[in-house]
Amino acid sequence: MSGAAVGDWFDHAPCGLVATSIDGAIVEANATFLSWTGYDFDELRGRPFASLLDPGSRLFFDTRHTQVLHLRGSVDEVALVLQKADGGRMPVLLNSVRDTSTQIDRIAVFNATERARHERDLLEAKRAAESSEERVRVLQDVSTTFGVTASDEEVAQSFAAVAGDAFAARETAVLLWQEDGELTLMGGTNPLAGKVSPVPSLRNTAEVTVVHAEDDQQDFPELAAAMRDSRLTSLSVTPLIADGQHLGVLVCFFARRADFDEHYLDLQQALGRQASQTLVRVRLQRRLAFLALHDQLTGVGNRQLLQSTIDAVIATSAAAAQPLSVLFLDIDDFKGINDGFGHAVGDLVLVELATRLRDSLRVADVVGRMGGDEFVAICPNTDIAAAEHVAERVLETCRAPIAVPDGIISASVSVGVTVYRPGTDPLPSAPQLLSRADAAMYDSKRSGKNRFTVTTR
């Protein structure tokens, strides 16, 4: 290769080539290096190579790079950052070798801009994947933490907290539609409460909707103003929808403008689906738990609920030395109602009398259907006088006429009452109390029906 060819190859090599003295002063640089950095060679001649590096790279070059080059005679693939003439930065890889015969250090400089960008993209992708994995894990975990008795409030509060953590929101709110048509805050905090009128398009949105205070002054002027007053830059509204039914919305409030990219919105949508499915599941669990302990026709407690309740109330009454009353009710001549009007009307009578019985008692009292036309009421902290008053009220309520499709039915009940008096009576079992009340009810039947009988034995 001729000298001219060698010189041409040196100047236009696909990498920067620099020669420095042992003390680091530049003595030669090819055209590629000058093009990359934007310097003229006259500006570089005699200048320390380290002065072309950013502060962090300069420290590494002057210590680690120079030391290794002195000890080993070469250094491979050292990642540094050059400062160009225009102030820009350029990631580079350096391979250096020391020529001891000429006392010259020869440096090959490779442009690592694309490599650095690729590594940065990989790092960001890894962080995003880790963040996404963590968010998904949180979403999966939160949906399995609710038991049979979980309330809508507990579900809403948990998902509001999860959303705040997952999306770095300043505040979050879960609002659920109620039976009366009101959208009610059930979990989290709504910083705009009372500051802006409801926005129907957001309350009923079918997809994740983002509002920016500065960008949406025309579409949502009142909302945008309220957001600025509350120092909010953005909010996102995620619908909670299950089987086509709108259950509510999840709202995330941001103090700084968030980057709502496709990945972010997908995660919001996923959280909305997860919250919706969890709400449906816990509501179904509550419904199934209710049905397991309640009579499907009348809605009052069933035999299982009565049994578990009376066992617990006996123990509580004995421990607190408080009287306990149990009422046993049977509808008078119910067979005649079924025979004369049909079983469908008979069912209507059962439902109506169960409702009246429940409305005649206190919130703390428990009403249940033993089966057929027999009902039981458990009344804690109720002495004989109070029990007689309750029985009178039940009789009066139940004897009122009942409207049915084919006319009016006059029904009545016979009531048996038994009272347990701690300190006076021996501790009874649940079957004993029910048996006494049942026997007292039959005494009322034999005495003419539509009346009550009280016993303590």
Q: Looking only at Cα atoms, what is the longest distance across the chain?
A: 134
| DSSP of 208-245 | -EEEETTT-TTTSHHHHHHHHHTT--EEEEEEEEETTE
Mean pLDDT of the chain: 89
Q: Answer yes or no: pTM beyond 0.75.
A: no
Residue type, 280: V
143 and 106 part of one domain: no
- Report if residue 209 sits inside a domain: yes
- Report if residue 297 sits inside a domain: no
Distances (CA, A) of 428 to 28, 316, 367, 436: 108, 13, 20, 10
Write down which residue in 264, 291, 318 finishes a domain.
291
Taking a C-beta distance cutoff of 8 angstroms, is the pair 311, 430 a contact?
yes
Positive or negative torsion for Cα 30, 32, 35, 38: negative
162 and 78 part of one domain: no
Q: Which domain holds residue 340?
A: 303-455
220 and 286 part of one domain: yes
Q: What span, in angstroms and rounded, lies between the C-alpha atoms of 269 and 263? A: 10
What per-residue confidence (pLDDT) applies to 185?
A: 95
Write down which residue in 84, 111, 138 finishes a domain.
111
What per-residue confidence (pLDDT) applies to 313?
A: 93
- Report if residue 218 sits inside a domain: yes
SS3 of residue 300 by DSSP: coil
- Report if residue 296 sits inside a domain: no
Pairing of β 413-420 and β 452-455? parallel
User: Locate tokens 């008795």: which residue?
Assistant: 149
Q: What span, in angstroms and rounded, lies between the C-alpha atoms of 3 and 200? A: 81
CA angle 432, 434, 435 (to 5 degrees): 65
* CB contact set of 55 (below 8 Å; sequence gap of 6+): none
Domain with residue 271: its CATH number is 3.30.450.40
142 and 258 part of one domain: yes
Q: Where are the beta strands (DSSP E) in 334-373?
A: 366-371
Model pLDDT for residues 275-311, shown as the tens digit of each residue: 888 888 888 888 888 888 899 999 999 999 999 899 9
Q: What span, in angstroms and rounded, lies between the C-alpha atoms of 109 and 80? A: 10
Domain with residue 63: its CATH number is 3.30.450.20
Cα separation of the two ends of the chain:
124
What per-residue confidence (pLDDT) applies to 197?
A: 87
Q: What span, in angstroms and rounded, lies between the C-alpha atoms of 431 and 328? A: 12
83 and 13 part of one domain: yes
152 and 96 part of one domain: no
219 and 104 part of one domain: no
Model pLDDT for residues 7-45, shown as the tens digit of each residue: 677 888 889 999 999 999 999 999 999 999 999 999 999
89 and 206 part of one domain: no
Positive or negative torsion for Cα 442, 445, 447, 449: positive
Write down which residue in 242, 268, 291 finishes a domain.
291
- Report if residue 116 sits inside a domain: no
Domain with residue 349: its CATH number is 3.30.70.270
| DSSP of 376-439 | EEEEET--HHHHHHHHHHHHHHHTS-EEETTEEE---EEEEEEEE-BTTBPPPPHHHHHHHHHH
261 half-sphere exposure, CB direction, 13 A CA radius? 3
73 and 170 part of one domain: no
Neighbouring C-beta atoms of residue 198, cutoff 10 Å: 8
Q: What span, in angstroms and rounded, lies between the C-alpha atoms of 15 and 33? A: 7
Nearest to 71 by CA among 100, 94, 102: 100
Query: Can you read off the two tokens belonging to residue 370?
Result: 């033993």
275 and 363 part of one domain: no
141 and 181 part of one domain: yes
Model pLDDT for residues 149-167, shown as the tens digit of each residue: 578 999 999 889 988 988 8
Indicate the pLDDT class of residue 372, thresholds 50, 70 and 90: very high
What per-residue confidence (pLDDT) applies to 290?
A: 82
Model pLDDT for residues 339-363, shown as the tens digit of each residue: 989 999 999 999 999 999 999 999 9
Model pLDDT for residues 110-162, shown as the tens digit of each residue: 988 877 776 776 777 676 666 666 566 656 656 555 555 578 999 999 889 98
345 and 258 part of one domain: no
13 Ramachandran zone, left/alpha/beta (phi>0; psi -120 to 50): beta
What per-residue confidence (pLDDT) applies to 151?
A: 87
Overall number of domains in the chain: 3
Query: Can you read off the two tokens belonging to residue 327?
Result: 């009422």
Q: What span, in angstroms and rounded, lies between the C-alpha atoms of 275 and 267? A: 12
- Report if residue 117 sits inside a domain: no
- Report if residue 118 sits inside a domain: no
> Residue 286 belongs to what H/E stretch?
helix 262-293
- Report if residue 298 sits inside a domain: no
